[in-house]
Structure formats: structure tokens, C-alpha cells
Structure 1
Amino acid sequence: MFEECRPFRTVIDEVEKTLLTVDMNIAAEYARPVPDAAARDAVFRMIEAEYERTCARVLEVTDAGELAERFPQHRRRFGRRLQTMNQVSREQVQLLQRLRAGGDDEVRTALLMSIRCAAAGFGATG
């Protein structure tokens, strides 16, 4: 189906490119502030498992050895942005914590700006 159906292939291509942008270590940083450790860990384990299953299925469908190997230009472009994007994500986690702790409009504005920054870096809408 992947080879014969262009719409299906396009969906898989976009999913694959999106999966390349996922860093589960960064995702864990977003989860860390959740106060209920049991709930946090249970939900995060489900997210990790789903991520792994999705990656495995995409690689199976595309017959690839690694994510986005069919898109070397995309890999290079994202690779150049990765360090900056990880820093934006870490700062965003801190801003979220400050906002939850009663942050003011300045914190809210900074958080919204970080969301726009991340969207621009990932090539999405903000």
C-alpha cells in the first residue's frame, strides 16, 4: 500500500518526519513537574510505548533502517536546529513551572513567545 497509494505515502512521510523531531528525554522533562508521580510515570510509560510502536511500524512500512533516511535534507536541516530547539524546550518547561506557580503576565508572554519560537523551529504553526 505504501508504494501504490500516494495519499497514504504522504501521511506516512509526514508522520516519519514528525517522529524525527521527538526527543523522549525532552518529553520526560515536560512530564517531570507533574506532582503525582504514579500518574505521571504511568502516563509517560504509555506515551513512550506508543512512540516506540509508531516508530517501529513506520520503519516496517517504509522498509527503512532509521527514521527519515529517505529525507537526508530534512535530517540535516533538523540536525542543525536540534541543539537550539532542545534549549527552547528546556526553557519552556521552566516557564510552565513558573506559570503554574502563579506566574504573571510577563511569564505568560514569555511562554507564548517560546511556543512561537518552537513552532518556527519545527516548521509548524504556532
Structure 2
Amino acid sequence: AFLGEPGAKRKEAIALLQKMYRHWPFFRALLSNMDMVLAKSDLSLAARYADLVPDGKLRKKVFAMIEAEWHRTHEALGRITGAELRLANNRALARSIEHRFPYIDPLHHLQVELISRYRAGSQEEKVKRGIHISINGIAAGLRNTG
């Protein structure tokens, strides 16, 4: 709600956050991590995972909330840091992440398919193993823990 304040209060809130970003190393590191996570996120891939939810009404409601929050976060981060481009202060990391996507994206699509098969009742060990391998592959590609 802090950034959701109307008018003058919102401007004051943003000014305070901008000051914190400039002068407080912890807050700057926190926003730097948020910037990296946003750079690694892909709403079109997230939509593929959302498609696994069988209740269409629930899926649309929850995913709409996720999308809205992603956009609000992206906009707020840009206003606070002054950088509209993700990882503007770390172009080497941005390039590294962008170069990994072509290798990670197929793993996401494979994982969605394997999860779908598992939920449909497949008890094949290959399906379970494939899910675990895809989790590890995606985590390694994103350089995050699984």
C-alpha cells in the first residue's frame, strides 16, 4: 500500500525509496536482487505453468493477480532506481541471462508437459525422473537453487 498512496503521499513515498536506494547499501542490494529476478522472469512461460491449473476461473484470477503484481513491481523498481531497462547497471549479467534463455526455455516446456502427464496419472519412473532433471536443469541455467 506504500506506493499505492494517492498524489502527494505517493510522491513522498517514492522520494523516500529513491533516497534509501542512493544511500543505504542494504536496500540497494535488495533492489539489485529484485532486478535480477525480474530479468530472469518470463510471464509467457509462467502462463504455460498456469495452464496446468484445471480450474479455468481460478487460473485466470490468480494469474491476473501475478501479472498485475509483476507489472507494478517492474514499474516501481524503475521509478525508484531510475532504470527502466532491467539490469541496466549490470549489462554483463543481463547478456549472460539472455544467452541462457534459448537453452532453458525448452526445459520449461518439457517440464510443463511432464507435470501434465504426471497429474494425468502417469506413474512412469521416466516422467518423475524427467521432472526432477528439468528442475535441476532450470535451476542450473538460471543459476539459482532448485
Which of the five TM-score ranges fits, normalised by the shorter chain? Answer: over 0.9
Give unpaired runs (5+ residues) of structure 2.
1-19
Structure 2 counterpart SS, 1:33: coil
Q: Whole-Å Cα distance in 2 between the matches of residues 56 and 103 of structure 1?
A: 42
Partner residue of 1:107 out of 127, 130, 141 = 127
Show the counterpart of 2:65: 46
Give unpaired runs (5+ residues) of structure 1.
none
Once the two structures are superposed, residues 7-34 of structure 1 have per-residue CA deviations (whole angstroms, 9 ceiling, x without a partner) of 1110100110010011111110111122
More deviation, 8-17/99-108: 99-108
Larger Rg: 2
2:49 matches 1:16? no
Show the counterpart of 1:125: 145
Q: Whole-Å Cα distance in 2 between the matches of residues 63 and 40 of structure 1?
A: 34
Show the counterpart of 1:67: 86
- CA shift, 1:42, in A, is 0.4
Question: Identity percentage over the alignment?
Answer: 33
Aligned residues: 126
Q: Whole-Å Cα distance in 2 between the matches of residues 65 and 12 of structure 1?
A: 13
